[in-house]
Amino acid sequence: MEYVIEMLNITKEFPGIKANDNITLQVEPGEIHALLGENGAGKSTLMSVLFGMYKPDGGCIKVRGKEVKITNPNVATELGIGMVHQHFKLVHNFTVTENIILGSEPTLFGGCVDIKKAAKRVAELSKRYNLHVDPYAKIEDISVGMQQRVEILKMLYRNADILIFDEPTAVLTPQEIDHLMKIMKQLTAEGKSIIVITHKLKEIKTIAKHCTIIRKGKGIGTVVVDEVTEQDLADLMVGRKVTFKLDKKEAKMGAPVLEVNDLCVKNARGVDALKQLSLTVYEGEILGVAGIEGNGQTELIEAITGLRPADRGTVKLGGEDISRLSVRKRTEAGIGHIPEDRHKHGLVLEYSLEDNFILQTYYQQPFSKGGILNRQAIREQSEMLIQRFDVRSGQGSQTITRSMSGGNQQKAIIGREVVRSPKLLIAAQPTRGLDVGAIEYVHRELIEERDKGRGVLLISLELDEILNVSDRIAVIYEGEIVGILDAAKTNEQEIGLLMAGAGRERGEQ
Ligand SMILES: Nc1ncnc2c1ncn2[C@@H]1O[C@H](COP(=O)(O)OP(=O)(O)OP(=O)(O)O)[C@@H](O)[C@H]1O
């Protein structure tokens, strides 16, 4: 069998960490090959080596049987390799077409850029592969799902036939995920080969033929997906038995922690996003908010945390009206927030891990006194959090958070928020991009917070997560709560119908 890609004994070191330690990956032509590993296992690094972004310290790469040196992404492109990165690489104030041709324009059409011609080709490709985009829309105005389709079209525009997808479904809605899977199958049916990084075992079972597993930088092996179960995959990846079932006692609900009344909020485009929304979170419970993306979840979080002004309505925390307080005052009043976009709102990526741990508390004792930072106290806090939340990084407290793997960045944020013992913990997509072991851990943390008597507001697009973790479930649809359900007595179908607006049509509340 001639492999289309062979990465043999690849080694790549960063200061303080061997991100890839003698890893071998062999991909058959026309297959979907999954790459599985815990957060920080080295998957993105391996793919970045294949795409020419990192030079490996050891090992060799063969493309279609021939040994190659992929010294930069242009070489990869020439070899027919394309990559959709975990965090997209698009220019936000450029149009879809401009982004797609960026980097390949001078060689096209006799050296001059013909945007119209390019847009036409983009439209053709988009039709052929059912990848709906508007060629003239600006990136900043389109949804995350469409941005991803632009990235896919960018590869196809360059005639790539070895496609790398780094966690493509982490940012998509369930409907978009189904659509993407179909497209991936269509691409392989045409003879293209795909390597996909995903933490979702269900997805691996649905689309992949082989799965290569790496653990802490080392290759564990490659399995035929049809011959293993999801449980096998999880156990192989983590190196121990993973329990999917959450052990959770019945909630002991106390007084209201968060009371949102008649909240009216406009979104960034000035359109009504929340329409007289009311909900209550009690002490000792997890209230899950289920809904299709874009139904007001983001605006709800922003209005509670003070990031977005409300036109009408009140927000009370522990009985006190906080509607007019600043973000800092609300944080001090007892709101913890695990934000949905960890890069934009969760971390200062240029800061070290220890500085990120004190973003909201740096002006308080013991971290500073009289305007002077107490570095020792900051370091101690950081070491404690790293230990307790198992945050893995190359240089411990000193690691610049940009270099950390996505999952470990998320663990750091969760640790920082939980340790402040907030009255209300808002967890927005808290397990996005996390491996199954880390998900298990985060869910336990949320339940532990609940059992300590705190109120938890969980916003998630993952129905499984909402159903397993929440005590009560509020379904949001077009900026209104269209149903509140007991998590133990409902199911995916009932929630799904409400999410699609069925509750409102029936006039239910
Ligand atoms: N540019 C870099 N500089 C220093 N360390 C890095 C760099 N890139 C990655 N690392 C480290 O290498 C290790 C592997 O990271 P990588 O991003 O490849 O993991 P991953 O398996 O893709 O994780 P995740 O699933 O969380 O995205 C991590 O410990 C990370 O902190």
pLDDT (tens digit per residue) in 195-253: 999 988 999 999 999 999 999 999 999 999 999 999 999 999 988 887 777 788 899 99
Report which ligand 1 atom has the smallest distance to the Cα of 406: 26
Q: Is the pLDDT of residue 107 over 60?
A: no
Residues 433/214/348/49 CA torsion (nearest 10 deg): -110
Query: What φ, ψ does residue 388 adopt, rounded to 5°?
Result: -70, -35
CATH superfamily of 5-238: P-loop containing nucleotide triphosphate hydrolases (3.40.50.300)
Output the pTM of the full model: 0.79
CATH 3.40.50.300 fits 256-334+422-505, yes or no: yes
What is 449-477 written as a DSSP string? HHHTT-EEEEE-S-HHHHHHH-SEEEEEE
Length in residues, the chain: 509
Alpha helix segments (H runs only) across 363-405: 375-388
Classify residue 216 by its DSSP letter: T
Q: Give all strands (DSSP E) within 15-72, no chain letters.
A: 17-27, 32-37, 58-63, 66-68
Pocket residue to mutate for ligand 1, from 10, 38, 44, 390, most atoms within 8 A of Cβ = 44
Where do the structural domains in the chain lie, given as residue ranges?
Answer: 5-238, 256-334+422-505
pLDDT of residue 509: 38
Structure tokens at 437: 């072991």
Q: Is the pLDDT of residue 180 over 80?
A: yes
Judge if the beta carbon of residue 44 lies within 6 A of ligand 1: yes
Q: 5-238 with 256-334+422-505: one CATH topology?
A: yes
Task: Assess contact for 313 and 261: CB atoms under 8 A.
Answer: yes
Mean pLDDT of the region 86-103: 88
Among 43-52, 436-445, 481-490, name the one with the lowest average pLDDT.
Answer: 436-445
Q: Measuring from atom 9 of ligand 1, which residue has the nearest CA? A: 403
| Ligand 1 centroid – CA 409 distance (Å) | 10
pLDDT of residue 47: 96
Percent of the chain with pLDDT over 90: 69
In sequence order, what are the beta bridge partners of 261?
A: 314
Report which ligand 1 atom has the smallest distance to the Cα of 408: 26
Q: What angle do CA 151, 427, 148 make, to 5 degrees?
A: 5
Q: How many CB atoms lie within 10 A of CB 175?
A: 11
Distances (CA, A) of 243 to 101, 182, 232, 251: 46, 30, 12, 21
**Closest listed residue to residue 182, CA positions, set 159, 203, 209:** 203
Task: Assess contact for 348 and 340: CB atoms under 8 A.
Answer: no
Query: What φ, ψ does residue 312 adopt, rounded to 5°?
Result: -150, 165
Task: Assess contact for 409 and 342: CB atoms under 8 A.
Answer: yes
Q: Is the pLDDT of residue 329 over 80?
A: yes
Task: Assess contact for 330 and 390: CB atoms under 8 A.
Answer: no
- Compute the chain's Rg from CA coordinates: 24
Task: Assess contact for 45 and 54: CB atoms under 8 A.
Answer: yes
Quote the mean pLDDT of the chain.
Answer: 91
Pocket residue to mutate for ligand 1, from 11, 51, 403, most atoms within 8 A of Cβ = 403
Mean pLDDT of the region 425-452: 90
pLDDT of residue 464: 87
B/e letters for 180-200, b = 16+ CB within 10 Å, e = fewer, are bbeebeebbeeebbbbbbbbb
What is 287-318 written as a DSSP string? EEEE--TTSSHHHHHHHHHTSS--SEEEEEET
Q: Measuring from atom 25 of ligand 1, which residue has the nearest CA? A: 39
Report which ligand 1 atom has the smallest distance to the Cα of 54: 1
pLDDT of residue 106: 56
Sorted by sequence, the CB contacts under 8 Å of residue 375 that are 6+ apart come out as none
Sorted by sequence, the CB contacts under 8 Å of residue 111 that are 6+ apart come out as none
Query: How far apart, in whole angstroms, are the C-alpha atoms of residue 28 and residue 211?
Result: 12
Q: Measuring from atom 8 of ligand 1, which residue has the nearest CA? A: 403
**Closest listed residue to residue 200, CA positions, set 358, 436, 443, 454:** 436
| Ligand 1 centroid – CA 267 distance (Å) | 35
